[in-house]
Amino acid sequence: MSDTVRVFIDLKSGKFSSVAAADVPAGYIRVVRQGIGEGFIDPSVLRESDDGQPIHPPFVPELRAEVARIHSVLSIAMRMDLPSFEEGFRADKHPWREIALWDQMADLFEKVCGTPRMRGITGTPRDILALILSFVNNGPSTASRPVRAYRSVSEPSARKLHDLWFAERRLSAVALAATKYRGMFGSESLPELPSTVSIHTLFDETDAGPNLDADFNIHEFIETADVILGVDVESGHEFVVYGSGGDPDGRRVVRVELDQDTDELERLCALVEVRRGRHDYRAT
């Protein structure tokens, strides 16, 4: 995954600048737009969609209260008011997942920066939030992209923060929160999540990045599945990539069609590990 991300200057034109992920200003909202892709923008300038209207209508009171709670927790590290914070979500293609991410970012932030403060993590609230945001965008560290110190956050503190965010229970909590917030939108706002897709639907034309032009949110597709099965397109053989087999009743089972004789299985396992904290594929 890249160490740089896009910060949009203007969504209508798609103009952006590339910055280090950890340098995205705290409080900027991640947005996904058809034909433009994914990046970050200051919610205070993101008030309307390209056609002059917000993508989503004003949130219901229950959801507005949740957004206000998240903003209250993070306000010491952000420089924006609540209306701008909320409008940023309304302009997002899949706001329920974005709100879920910020919900869990706020939960971790409060545990680290609250009273009493978590032992073993030093740094200013603003730098801590910016670092969490960089983890959300870039995924877990790798040998070629290790966790490093960031401004007032020491390297040991950054590593501990990284491990707290990527704990499997935290990633599971994001999926549960997304399901909860999804239920607060009217049915007309909710695109159906497919049960079976080709692996080519999940990745962009480079076969490395996510397909942001898909008709559904691919992260949500992976994160909300109880069981993820791979299906070899040549033999029809099914195998577990995440979760366990057995009786599927009451569980959301999704299938990803791929060619096991290529690197497609490896890419699917890597995607699942980033989004769910692990994969369960075992070669036979």
Task: Note the helical H segments in the chain.
Answer: 61-74, 82-90, 95-113, 125-138, 155-165, 168-182, 199-202, 218-223, 264-276
The residue ranges of the chain whose pLDDT is under 70 are: 1-3, 10-14, 22, 26-27, 29, 31-37, 43-54, 186-191, 245-249
pLDDT of residue 105: 96
Cα–Cα dist 37/211, whole Å: 9
Closest CA to 257 of 224, 225, 231: 231
Task: Note the helical H segments in 143-263.
Answer: 155-165, 168-182, 199-202, 218-223
Q: Where are the beta strands (DSSP E) in 180-224?
A: 196-198
pLDDT of residue 48: 44
